[in-house]
A and B are shown apart, each in its own frame.
Chain A
Amino acid sequence: MIVPVNVVLGLSAVLFGIGVFGFLARRNIILMLVSVEVMLNAVNLSLAGFSQHLADPSGQIVALFVIAVAAAEAGVGLGLVIALNRNRPGAGVSDLTQLKG
């Protein structure tokens, strides 16, 4: 155990905050998805830190599932971005003011 688990969890909290800021502040849909990836990475880091701290590999397995869900999220999210861009060029969320396709 080279660093205390508090350092890992604090770093994870900071990265999660950065991701939340990016998700709420950016206007481009793709960069909002990038911010979601930052948040998922922060969660993976805290899971790995707990896994090492408690000497239990379950945390790493849950992190693997988080990575699988992140891949699924990227696929569906970017598919939605492509479909939106076909109807209405540009990827700004402020342009999307109606639900009609």
Chain B
Amino acid sequence: MTVLSAQTVFYYMAAASVTSAILAVTRRNPVHSLLWLLALFLHMAGMFLLLDAEFLAAVQVIVYAGAILVFYLFVLMLLDLPGEEARPRFSRHWPLAAAVGLSFAVLGWLSQIATVDPVGASPDAKSTASAAPPQGSLRAIGLDLFGPFALPFEMASLVLLAAILGAIVVARRRTTRS
């Protein structure tokens, strides 16, 4: 793929992800909202591919689009929210929320302009980037994950175990008391 067409694909995915994120947080029907979230996840996986993060793209599709989103849809249909479409979508203070979101976006934008430009201008980063092996990042990720990041990796499994137990305890039907 030439650089120009890759850039075109990236900008398409950027525009599509922003559009689907806006639709996901503003649609009235929760199921439509979750389907737009699925579109956001898939476009994000495509952008990870273009950013040379193949393993992250695969995990994004498998874990986010495959597990988390199905879990959300499952709970949504389990609850069967009555009259959700008739109620107002946003709280009364939604202009305030829009202002806060906009200021977050502008702050992030300004900070990346302020901080990243000197790093991008330094020749060191460019030279190490070109010296990196072109075989993809999977081998490096595996070596790091079971080398210097082995303890955080095990901590992640503990966090997941605690979350499983917590979810069971919280959502359990209390039959012993009633």
Question: What is the bound-complex CA distance between A38 and B102, given in angstroms?
Answer: 15
Interface residues of B in 26-77 (CB under 8 A from A): 26, 30, 33-34, 37, 40-41, 44, 47-48, 50-53, 55-56, 59-60, 63-64, 67-68, 71-72, 75-76
Contact present for A57 and B144 (CB under 8 Å): yes
Known: A60-B137, A64-B56, A91-B81. A27 touches B167 (CB 8 A): no
Contact present for A2 and B50 (CB under 8 Å): yes
Closest to B102 in A: A17
Known: A15-B21, A26-B89. A68 touches B160 (CB 8 A): yes
Q: How many residues of B contact A (CB 8 A)?
A: 93
Question: What is the bound-complex CA distance between A52 and B88, given in angstroms?
Answer: 42
Contact present for B101 and A18 (CB under 8 Å): yes
Known: A5-B120, A6-B117, A67-B63. A24 touches B82 (CB 8 A): no
Contact present for B159 and A21 (CB under 8 Å): no
User: A13: which B residues are within 8 A, CB to CB?
Assistant: 104-109, 112
Contact present for A34 and B34 (CB under 8 Å): yes
Contact present for B156 and A48 (CB under 8 Å): no
Instruction: Give which listed residue, B47, B105, B144, contacts A58 with CB less than 8 A.
Output: B144
Known: A1-B129, A17-B102, A45-B44. A34 touches B87 (CB 8 A): no
How would residues 31 to 54 of chain A score, 1 for a CB under 8 Å from any chain B CB and 0 otherwise?
A: 101110110010011001101111
Contact present for A83 and B25 (CB under 8 Å): no
Known: A30-B30, A44-B56, A55-B132. A6 touches B113 (CB 8 A): yes
Contact present for B120 and A6 (CB under 8 Å): yes
User: A73: which B residues are within 8 A, CB to CB?
Assistant: 163
User: A61: which B residues are within 8 A, CB to CB?
Assistant: 141, 144-145, 149, 152
A residues near B (Cβ < 8 Å) are: 1-28, 30-31, 33-35, 37-38, 41, 44-45, 48-49, 51-55, 57-58, 60-61, 63-65, 67-76, 78-83, 85-86, 89-94
